[in-house]
Amino acid sequence: MEAPTEPNGRLTAFGNQLIGVHLWLREELARLREDIDSYLAGSSERPRALQAHCLAFCSALSQHHTGEDNGAFPVLAEQFPELRPAIRELQHDHHLVAEVLRSLEELLGGLVAGVDPAEAQCVRAELDGLAALLESHFVYEEKKIVGALNSLNARAGTTELVL
């Protein structure tokens, strides 16, 4: 796999890649929320497509967190020991997010046309909670580790991390 580059051919810094992934995940979550709101309002009749979108988002987010836990975080913890407490907090967040994703998948799996308002509120509340948790997590992660990630591309032997 070729390392991403900026327009001038320079290796893209890992921290900037992380921010890009976070932006994409934020956009996907916003689209998912819009799709679910549309469906729950009765404007859309695509429960299978909606469930597929949710599963794709959940899978992408899970892969991102697994990549961090197994790839970037161990490298950062080794090279920047002062980041270990922040990394532990981020890993804890990953577990919380995984639980919310499981709950969301269960709720969305039960969506059917004519969903009752209480079910709709549960889905919306779960999505709102996920959005708040992810925003807090992304901001904290970017604040704590982007600088360290950006410095990795200049270190010998570090040309690719999974983010």
Could you write out the DSSP letters of every residue in 102-115?
Answer: HHHHHHHHT--TT-
Q: What is the pLDDT of residue 11?
A: 46
pLDDT digits (tens, 9 = 90+) for 122-138: 888 999 999 999 999 99
Q: Indicate whether 8 belongs to any domain.
A: no
Q: What is the pLDDT of residue 89?
A: 97
Q: Indicate whether 4 belongs to any domain.
A: no
- Which residues of the chain fall short of a pLDDT of 70? 1-12, 44-47, 111-117, 153-163
Tokens of 137: 């997590």
At a CB cut-off of 8 Å and minimum separation 6, what does 129 contact?
Answer: 100
| CATH code for position 114 | 1.20.120.520
Q: Let me know: does 48 contact 70? Beta carbons within 8 Å.
A: no
3-state secondary structure of 6: coil
Q: What is the pLDDT of residue 13?
A: 83
Q: Indicate whether 25 belongs to any domain.
A: yes
Q: What is the pLDDT of residue 90?
A: 97
Give the number of domains in the chain. Answer: 1
Residue-number span of the structural domain to which 25 is assigned: 14-152
pLDDT digits (tens, 9 = 90+) for 64-74: 999 999 999 99
Q: What is the pLDDT of residue 54?
A: 84
pLDDT digits (tens, 9 = 90+) for 112-126: 655 666 777 788 899
Q: Let me know: does 17 contact 4? Beta carbons within 8 Å.
A: yes
Q: What is the pLDDT of residue 122?
A: 84
Q: Indicate whether 9 belongs to any domain.
A: no
Q: Indicate whether 163 belongs to any domain.
A: no
Q: What is the pLDDT of residue 7?
A: 44
pTM: 0.82
Q: What is the pLDDT of residue 24?
A: 96
CB atoms within 10 A of CB 3: 12
Q: Let me know: does 146 contact 19? Beta carbons within 8 Å.
A: yes
